[in-house]
Amino acid sequence: MTYEFTIIVPVYNEEANLNRVEKELSDYSKIASKPTKILFVNDGSKDRSQEIIEDICSRQTNFHYISFAENRGLSAAIKAGFDHADTPLLGYIDSDLQTAPEDFNLLLEHIGSNDLVTGVRSDRKDSFVKNMSSKIANGIRRSFTHDGMDDTGCPLKVIKSEYAKRIPMFRGLHRFLPAMILLQHGTIKQIPVRHFPRIAGTANFGLWNRLLGPLMDCFAYLWMKKKYINYTVAKKG
């Protein structure tokens, strides 16, 4: 089969969720609007995640994996997925499945005329503290990037590979994906998607990650924006 869409699934100590991830993504593959494969990126998990991932990939022909030697963080996992995927379209979903794989089809409807389509979590099923810190962090980020996005932390996105592979690597990257597409003069769009409570496992982000960390990353983004190199090849021979 010629695949057109790769879903990147970062994993860090998610052994309690992975069998559900297999079922839901396998079910989605059967109804996906594009021929789809899945790429796990194991970010140095210390539990049984790698063992379970290998077991899943041995029985699912469209499931593959990358495993880091050590924990490098969510942005590194996403970037590794971008670097190793070989399809024209890339997607991203968290392994806690607080968003629904079926909603990728909603995003894929709009990717033809856009270069990144991101979900916006409607009726979020998170704690008050998590929701408020996320809202504040998004407001701070918008004031720096002017990307117009309401929920860059939503773990459901579709990106054209040619744009994703040109995004430079830095910590906190996952919060700035729409802004990075705009730096390439690409177009972005946000679409409401469903959101669900976490069923198993433990969230790996605290107040620092949701609020103070993004503020520091905004200054790094401004520095990088001034140094960013963007070019278009007119001819080659």
89: domain CATH number is 3.90.550.10
3-state SS of the chain is: CCCCEEEEEEECCCCCCHHHHHHHHHHHHHHCCCCEEEEEEECCCCCCHHHHHHHHHHHCCCEEEEECCCCCCHHHHHHHHHHHCCCCEEEEECCCCCCCHHHHHHHHCCCCCCCEEEEEECCCCCCHHHHHHHHHHHHHHHHHHCCCCCCCCCCEEEEEHHHHCCCCCCCCHHHCHHHHHHHCCCCEEEEEECCCCCCCCCCCCCHHHHHHHHHHHHHHHHHHHHHCCCCCCCCCC
pLDDT of 73-107, one tens digit each? 998 999 999 999 999 999 999 998 999 999 999 99
pLDDT of 106-161, one tens digit each? 999 999 999 999 998 876 655 555 555 566 666 666 666 667 676 777 889 999 99
Q: Decide if 233 is inside a domain.
A: no
Q: Decide if 142 is inside a domain.
A: yes
Domain that residue 205 falls in: 5-227
- Number of domain units in the chain: 1
pLDDT of 58-79, one tens digit each? 999 999 999 999 999 998 999 9
Q: Decide if 232 is inside a domain.
A: no
